[in-house]
Amino acid sequence: MDEHFDIQLGSKRNINSVNTDIFTCIDLKISVKEVLQYNTSNTLSSNDVFDAEREINENYRIYGKIEYISLLNNLLANTPILDDFFIPKMSGNTKTLLNSFNFYLVKPATTGYTQTTIDGDNTYYVRKFDVITTINNIDIFPAGFSNNVYNEQTYGFTVNVDIDITGILDQLGFPLTELYLYADFKTDTNISKQRTNWDSNGVSTIIPYNYEEKVYGDIIQFDRENFAQYAYSAQTHYINVKYLTGVGTLFEVLSWKFNPLIPIRLRYFDDSVNKVNINDVSYDETSKIPYYALSYPDDSGAYRIWREIQLQGYIDPTTGLGVDYPFVNNRRYCFNTIIIDIIPNLDHENTNKQFKDLMFGLPTTLNIIPTTPLNDIGKQC
């Protein structure tokens, strides 16, 4: 039989004691809550999960195909004669893509831009580029069963490291929307190289190429009001190749030119420009402003301006712009078809002289205006 104990009130034991409730009260009230069907049979959407993971991920694996189109392709590696430029050697000791270039992946630099004034407008900048991979990070190999229209070998390439662009901005404060494959043409005793240089007034000159810590780039225009950058003038490299004239050991030079910075598109900005006064909106609104928003109209303003980065997989129906790269293993796989075309520099006196005989004759005036079936659209049958 259980023993019973009487608990005496504190005030009965001592005049200074306080009566205390030592029991724990348990609420036995019953409340009814409906169990929703969504909670018991929720279907996980793999498409929604895929889109969310791809959108938050900014890790890229870059690969593609390269075609090398130039009279310098398959040129004799030893000192050539003039005919060698026009009769390429398909075998032997020749200059090909593999032994003519070093390739690097570069991005717009965070510092080093030079402001220049063009037609009184100082919104122009000469860009510099940071090298983000070494020559060992880019594998180049002959593409199987693949030749170009001149029956010359085409090549595949892959960047063998992941490129994470999360939070990276250029000097003007823009997130990266493009990387660049930098084609660095190799020099030797018969080959020298020059590049385009711009002064503070945007006047271009051609100067000897010197390897720098940063890659010297192009000119862009910075449009803060529309949160945009526009290409203004591309970089040009000049390749000067010596050849024997056939008279003793006299040499002449043929000059060639190309743009060494090949864009690789990662993503696009939306067309809509957003402008917000951060002093007039709630915290909920300011928290939606992306980290790369710029101050407007200048660096001291209370306004912020930006464009949203377009969603992966979305193609703008108006402009046709957008990217939809495969997303596997936490990487976006970015494929590119690249053509490197090195053409004669006809501003060079001797090069113009040697190539003018290959040019077509003077243009002729047609006596009859050509027509096509498109001219009959809208006419009666």
Q: What is the DSSP letter of 188?
A: B
Walking along the chain (381 residues) 10 residues at a time, the average pLDDT comes out as: 66 68 70 64 75 90 95 89 84 88 96 94 95 94 84 92 95 96 94 95 93 90 95 96 83 95 96 87 80 85 90 89 92 95 94 79 56 62 56
Q: Helices (DSSP H) in 211-356: which residue ranges?
A: 283-286, 349-355
Q: CA 229, 116, 216, 218 torsion: positive or negative?
A: positive
Nearest Cα to 291, choosing from 198, 148, 167, 207? 167
Q: Whose structure tokens read 């229209």?
A: 149
pLDDT at residue 250, rounded to an integer: 84
How many CB atoms sit inside 10 A of residue 279's CB?
A: 8
User: How far is residue 89's CA from residue 92's CA, in Å, rounded to a whole number?
Assistant: 7
Q: Which residues partner with 95 through β-bridges?
A: 75
Q: Which residues contact 59 (CB under 8 A, 6 or more apart)?
A: 162, 163, 164, 166, 330, 331, 332
In this prediction, residue 179 carries a pLDDT of 97
SS3 369: coil
Cβ contact 239:230 at 8 Å: no
Residue type, 117: T
Q: Which residue matches tokens 């005919």? A: 83
Cα–Cα distance, 83 to 71 (Å, whole number): 11
The answer to whether the Cα torsion of 175, 270, 322, 232 is positive or negative is: negative
Q: Name the nearest CA neighbour of 97 among 131, 142, 56.
A: 142
User: Would you give the DSSP letter of residue 302?
Assistant: S
Q: Where are the domains of the chain?
A: 59-268+320-357
3-state secondary structure (DSSP) of residue 374: helix
What's the pLDDT at 279? Answer: 80
DSSP letter, residue 173: S
Distance CA 94, CA 339 (A): 20
pLDDT at 150: 78
- Assess contact for 342 and 235: CB atoms under 8 A: no
Q: Are 163 and 105 in contact, with CB atoms under 8 Å apart?
A: yes
Q: Could you give the CA distance from residue 287 to residue 281 in angstroms, rounded to a whole number? A: 10
Q: Are 43 and 135 in contact (CB under 8 A)?
A: no
Could you give the CA distance from residue 346 to residue 343 in angstroms, rounded to a whole number? 9
